[in-house]
Amino acid sequence: MPVMIPLIPLTAVAAGAITTTYTVAIAREAKRPRRATYAWALAHGSPTSPAEVPGVRTWHEGSTVLQATGHDPATHATPPSARSIVLPWWLVEGQGAGAMLLIHGWGRSRWDSLRRAPWLLEHAASIVVPDLRGHGEAPGTTSIGHSDHLDLDQVIAEALNGTASTTAIEGGLTLVGHSMGAMVAARLAALLAERGTPARRLVLMAPYDSLIVPMANRLRVRGLPAGPFAAAAAWWLARGEEPLHRTLGRVRCPVLALGGGLDAVTTPDDVHRAAAPHDAFIEPGIDHANVGVEGTASREAMHAFLSRT
């Protein structure tokens, strides 16, 4: 008489295998986003170099070979070995005072940052525009904002070390970040404050409070299930992550948050939660990719903020 294998246990095993595979796929995609390089800029009609950005007069390209850094007690992040990791960057001359660091979001690059440069040129003498590791032309895999602030601490020191502009040094440092870059900018601002050299001001474009927010929302936008799968992947990738609103409690400079009314990745509610207790300016009709690129009212809000701080 043949032995009957129970159907329910087999179904449970199959469901578990599918769940695990899907969760791993979510985490893998998060660590290895598609690269937005020169070809991406060309295909999307974006500037392919700072020379194509209206208002840019002088710029040059450089790179920073990362040195291994230690444990960051604020975020409990110990970055992976920096051996052979080289982050490319542009240094763009502006028409204002002070230095600025312009940080792209997840899956983007310094080419995407160029789309935001026209809003910022009159508010800095020098703007550093880097690729984060695992993005653009930078090798490696992304930390998804977990330890990128430690990398950029090295980049900003090297990029500005040879600048001839005294206004860039004396005018303080402005940090601007989009999406994941907003998280990185805030963590760098907190690091600088704890060091006793606080940033001059901080601009957060389409920020989120924790990794689960954009991870789950991006899946929903694509019509894919999020539920416990995204939560499990986010927990694994961001163990010990400090929520943005707590990081902002350690920042010692004025903060502006911008969001878009059509943003489905970091919704207006997500932006308000992330930026608390600071106010967030939400402009209707703007989606995630174009926060800081389009919108007359949000551009005026940013100009007013940068002019008074």
**Pairs from 273-282 (Cβ < 8 Å, separation ≥ 24):** 273/209, 273/245, 274/182, 274/204, 274/207, 274/208, 274/209, 274/213, 274/243, 274/244, 274/245, 275/204, 275/207, 275/244, 275/245, 275/248, 276/245, 276/248, 277/245, 277/248, 278/248, 281/256, 281/257, 282/258
Residue 228 lies in a domain: yes
- pLDDT by residue for the chain (309 residues), tens only, comes to 454 455 567 676 666 677 789 899 999 999 999 999 999 999 999 999 999 999 999 999 999 999 865 444 444 454 544 457 999 999 999 999 999 999 999 999 999 999 999 999 999 999 999 999 999 999 999 999 999 999 999 999 999 986 554 555 567 999 999 999 999 999 999 999 999 999 999 999 999 999 999 999 999 999 999 989 999 999 999 888 899 999 999 999 999 999 999 999 999 999 999 999 998 999 999 999 999 999 999 999 999 999 999
Tens-digit pLDDT profile for residues 236-274: 998 888 999 999 999 999 999 999 999 999 999 999 999
Order of strands across the sheet with 59-65?
A: 59-65, 86-93, 126-130, 99-103, 173-178, 201-205, 255-260, 280-283
Residue 30 lies in a domain: yes
- The CATH number assigned to the domain holding 184 equals 3.40.50.1820
Residue 1 lies in a domain: no
d(CA 134, CA 301): 32
Taking alpha carbons only, the member of 175, 174, 178 closest to residue 260 is 178
How is residue 294 annotated by DSSP? B
The structural domain count of the chain equals: 1
Does the pTM exceed 0.85? yes
Residue 2 lies in a domain: no
Domain of residue 262 covers 7-308
Residue 267 lies in a domain: yes
Residue 214 lies in a domain: yes
